[in-house]
Structure 1
């Protein structure tokens, strides 16, 4: 395939491979989380700032890649609806089996809503030059990262302003990124700030689809990782129940009860 036409884009093998690495790291993070929170194993550094930053880097990159994938999808609306429904299945499952780890609006909910929003936003986004759109979205991601805490800007640099109080405390705005009393989610990826990384990916996808990246980005390097990367949804859905079941069995056998 050539990338000379938007109708015949090159397959971006490195994107599949990178997605494979990232989903394995996400699975490892969840395994450590299970050991730190759900089972009597000490992982004292699990919630250190550097670990949170590493988690955000991994999931943020997955979100960016998901935005890129919108440029390759035949139907983002259908893909988004399917992903959102899987997210709702996790909501029901955690509510019934493990209410202390209830997922109200996790990463699958986020992916689903973002994918469904993209076709609605695309007529407007298509009018924005690629470079301006991508870097503006990256900037908005960092500027809105602390909206959940009530500020807009870069507080670490002393450049921030308080957000309006009326945005906070409304349950219907929880999924947008504004906390509400009594609502929490064990896995929480609200639209703000993560939608901006997603949209940055959609802009970057224009360049990838047009074949403007170096050839090695499109070439295959590790088919096994690429295979994993093409099945991230399945892996995400099954790895936590698998980990929890195996750890429960191991601790049952070790404790003898």
Structure 2
């Protein structure tokens, strides 16, 4: 985002929306830990609506991150940092909570997308933003079932080669084998398409083509949280787990 001297040009709504989404993610992981680690019976957590809500929250977070990439002065640096945070998450879960290991979660995804964006930007900039946004949305839905072995929608689908799912190293692209497990899994297909859709939407926002309220501050607290989402995402799970561990230990 912009440095302090450019705060007047900041698109506050981007930070504020990210702040809201990071709070929702923290709440989701709070209930996830209660259900899957501390074995608390919360039937609503298993509802189909809840899984859709989780995907919606994560998807919008990825989309907003794509929008924000249009304002970053160094997507490569930010991407490397984000991917490094993801690897810290992988190492921490592998060492301390192997049953909930994170092999390619949302931080890994965003890190790779941010690092790829500068390489793809010269080509993306030749595409009309609206056309790019529509194409990315269509391709996202067509590739949404990559993990299940096919592309397409109900009534039309193309089965993907079985060989793509028989290796141990193609899971970052959306081709996990039968033994693969990651408690947080956001592969490049289809999610990079949602990120790229955000970069096309970001063209309109950066050019000042959105309503004036887009660019005014509404909640400085949400904006602060939004500017520190990666740190919050990295630290919130150890904090949430630690607090719950102490509470449940005291209840024994």
* Whole-angstrom distance in 2 between the partners of 1:44 and 1:51: 10
Mapped to 2, the partners of 1:250 and 1:102 lie a distance apart of: 23
Structure 1 runs not aligned, ≥5 long: 1-6
Aligned to 1:60: 59
Report Cα offsets for 1:91-126 as digits up to 9, x if no partner: 111111011111111111101111011111112111
Residue equivalent to 2:236: 239
C-alpha deviations, 1:47-89, integer Å up to 9, x for none?
3211111011111011001111111111111110011011111
Higher helix residue share: 2
Residue 25 (1) aligns with residue 30 (2): no
5+ residue gaps, structure 2, are 1-5
In the TM superposition, residue 8 of structure 1 has moved relative to its aligned partner by 10
SS at match of 2:10: coil
2:193 corresponds to 1:196: yes
Aligned pairs for 1:134-173 (under 5 A) are 134-155=133-154, 158-173=155-170
Shift of 1:171: 1.7
Give the count of matched residue pairs.
Answer: 247
2:14 and 2:68 in contact (8 A); partners too: no
2:220 counterpart (218, 223, 230): 223
Q: CA deviation at 1:196?
A: 0.4
- Tell me by how many angstroms 1:182 deviates: 2.3
Partner of 1:3: none
What do residues 111-167 of structure 1 show as CA deviations (whole Å, max 9, x unaligned)?
A: 111101111111211111111111100111111111111121112xx2322222232
2-structure distance, mates of 1:110, 1:212: 29
Aligned to 1:105: 104
C-alpha distance in structure 2 between counterparts of 1:170 and 1:96, whole Å: 24
CA distance in 1, matches of 2:129, 2:207: 12
For 2:67 and 2:86, locate their aligned partners in 1 and report how far apart those are by CA, in whole Å.
21
Determine if the alignment matches structure 1 residue 76 to structure 2 residue 75. yes
